[in-house]
Each structure stands twice: as C-alpha cells, then as structure tokens.
Amino acid sequence: MALFRENGLNALMDSQAPLIAIVDDEVSICRALLRLLRVANYRAESFNSPILFLESLAEHVPDCVVLDLQMPAMTGVELQEHLLRLDDPPPVIIITAHDEPKTRERCLALGAVRYLRKPIEGEILMGSIEEAVRAKRGGAPGSNHGELVDRT
C-alpha cells in the first residue's frame, strides 16, 4: 500500500477556517470526504496512514479528526490514545464499517464526540464536525457528546 497524504486546502480559503483531518486507509473515502469538506468551506487534509498523520502533528494540530478504526499499522483506538497525550487534543469523530460494542464503548470512553457507522450520511457527519469544532473553539458546548449514531 502506498502512503497517501492529500491536502484539500483551497488557496482562496480563509486561513481561519477550521482544519479537519481525515485518517482512513481507504483512499476513496479520504477523497470523498475531502470533497464534502471543501464544499462546506472547511480546510481539510487526509491521510491513509495513521503514522503519516502523527508526523503531521509536528506542523499543526487540526480542529477535528475524522478517524477510521480498522487500519494497518495502528488502529483508530491506538491513534485516539496518542492524541490524548497532546496538551490540547482535537475532538475525534470515529467512522467505522465494523461496529463492535466493546470498541464503541472504548472510543466513547476515550472522548470521541461521535461514533458513526459507514456508510455515513454527509449531513450527519457535517453536523458532527460543526458541533465538535464549535465546542473546541469555545462556542456553545455540544450537549450530545458521545452520542452513537446508529445507521442500521
């Protein structure tokens, strides 16, 4: 598997727009989410490797992370644990095709603001990102942190 990092930053976009990081080993998911975020005027970048994402933290910490659970080299849970070691960790939204109750409980216990099952509706994801960014930037705190959006 080739390592992939794609920058969805628009040169004309406001540098104060929230930066969203997508970490998913499926390049097609990364690209689709980048397009969705660009349309909504977010700055975004995607990583198909949790290791590449961790390396990027030396440059900047995103305002929110959209994180897949099942990835080679490191699981989403392990990456979420790494993020908690930061002085000011970004909010995390978990996305997964493999919903397991114990994993869901672990992610929420680690502070994930949402746990979403694939396929994800864009409107639900965008609402979750907006709420997470607003809470992170000191706006009205989200009252639904930890809510499971079950798409069965």
Per-residue model confidence (pLDDT) at position 22? 98
Q: Shortest CA distance to 66 belongs to which of 11, 17, 133?
A: 133
Question: What is the pTM (predicted TM-score) of this model?
Answer: 0.85
Q: For residue 86, is pLDDT > 70?
A: yes
- In the structure encoding, which two tokens stand for residue 67, read together? 């994180």
Give residue for tokens 């040169």.
11
pLDDT, tens digit (0-9, with 9 covering 90-100), for 32-79: 999 999 999 999 999 999 999 999 999 999 999 999 999 999 999 999
26/123 Cα distance (integer angstroms) = 21
Domain layout of the chain by residue ranges: 17-149
Kindly report the CATH number that applies to the domain delimited by 17-149: 3.40.50.2300
126/18 Cα distance (integer angstroms) = 12
Q: For residue 10, is pLDDT > 50?
A: no
Q: For residue 148, is pLDDT > 60?
A: no
64/114 Cα distance (integer angstroms) = 11
pLDDT, tens digit (0-9, with 9 covering 90-100), for 89-129: 999 999 999 999 999 999 999 999 999 999 999 999 999 99
Per-residue model confidence (pLDDT) at position 56? 97
Per-residue CA distances from 57 to 9, 39, 53 (Å)? 16, 25, 7
- What is residue 97's DSSP assignment? S
Q: Shortest CA distance to 110 belongs to which of 134, 129, 135, 92?
A: 92
